[in-house]
Amino acid sequence: MQHEFSDRFENFDDADVKATVERFEGMLKSRETVFFDEETFEQISEYYILAGQWDMAMKACSMGLEQYPYSLDLLLDQASGLTTEIGLTTPHRFR
């Protein structure tokens, strides 16, 4: 089963997503709290996952899960990022 990230972007154009990501990055730089709804955190994390920016994706997931701890999509994004990161940096041996 493959998680289709692009499905969530169909209601947003690139300018909207980039503007939201810029707001998120500005919030991180200024250390101010900016409200994002659950879907917006999901879109931000998926933007970074698609861009291969795992650290930023994990920040977005963590911050989103602080406000929305039962968000299945954020949990799936976080798990996807963590397994990809582990898979890239740690060899695993299965018996």
Q: Write out pLDDT tens, residues 40-57.
A: 999 999 898 888 888 999
pLDDT tens, position by position, 16-38: 888 989 999 999 999 888 888 99
Residues present in the chain in total: 95
- How would you class 64 by CB atoms within 10 Å of its CB: exposed for 0-12, middle for 13-18, buried for 19 or more? buried
Gap between the Cα atoms of 5 and 11, Å rounded: 13
Share of the chain above pLDDT 90, in %: 36
What phi-psi label fits residue 31: left (phi over 0), alpha (psi between -120 and 50 degrees) or beta? left
